[in-house]
Amino acid sequence: MESEDDQTLDFFDVFLPDTNGQRLLIPSVFMMNLKGKIANAVTLKDLSGRCWQADIKQTKEGFFLYNGWERFVSDKSVELGSFFVLRYVESSSSFVVKIFGPNGIKTEDLARVKIEDEGAEMQTDSMQNHRETIPARHEQS
């Protein structure tokens, strides 16, 4: 959990599998704002609290999230055109990652709505099945 004293910085990127499916470039301005205060290993956290470990690697092209980034993207079933908002929390060496689908809606919100809809369908099906199993009474004259 973030405290008021935590230094937090955010950046975003659009998901293009050929460009950032295996590693994610961390903007150089973002890194300059951190003043070199970033761990070599970080935790990626989704909004539900699930965690993935990833490494930070510096190359001549810049700093990248890798060794764990690809697994995160796969586990989260990120789609082409989705975008990420990553918030770095210095005290825990972690990135809290919000993912928005191509439609602009947070994917966690979509998942919750889908689960709620499926739950409502199951409840409706259950009620219909219950009605179908109640034997009809036939009045005898």
- One-letter amino acid for residue 101 of the chain: G
Sheet holding 94-100, edge to edge: 8-14, 83-89, 94-100, 41-45, 51-59, 62-66, 24-26
Question: What superfamily in CATH does domain 8-100 come from?
Answer: DNA-binding pseudobarrel domain (2.40.330.10)
Residue with tokens 């919750």: 112
Give the amino acid at 85. V
3-state helix, strand, coil in the chain (%, to 5): 35, 30, 35
Q: What is the pTM of this model?
A: 0.72
Kindly report the backbone phi and psi dihedral angles of residue 38, in degrees, each rounded to the nearest multiple of 5, phi listed first: -140, 140
d(CA 132, CA 135): 8
Contact in structure between 99 and 107 (CB atoms under 8 Å) = yes
Domain ranges of the chain: 8-100
Query: Of the candidates 10, 132, 32, 8, which has an alpha carbon nearest to the alpha carbon of residue 83?
Result: 10
* Cα 97 from Cα 111, distance rounded (Å): 15
For residue 132, the model assigns a pLDDT of: 47
10-53 residue pLDDT tens: 999 999 999 999 999 999 999 999 887 788 999 999 999 999 99
**How do residues 60-118 score in pLDDT, each as one tens digit?**
999 999 999 999 999 999 999 999 999 999 889 999 999 999 989 888 765 555 445 55
Residue-level pLDDT at 109 = 60
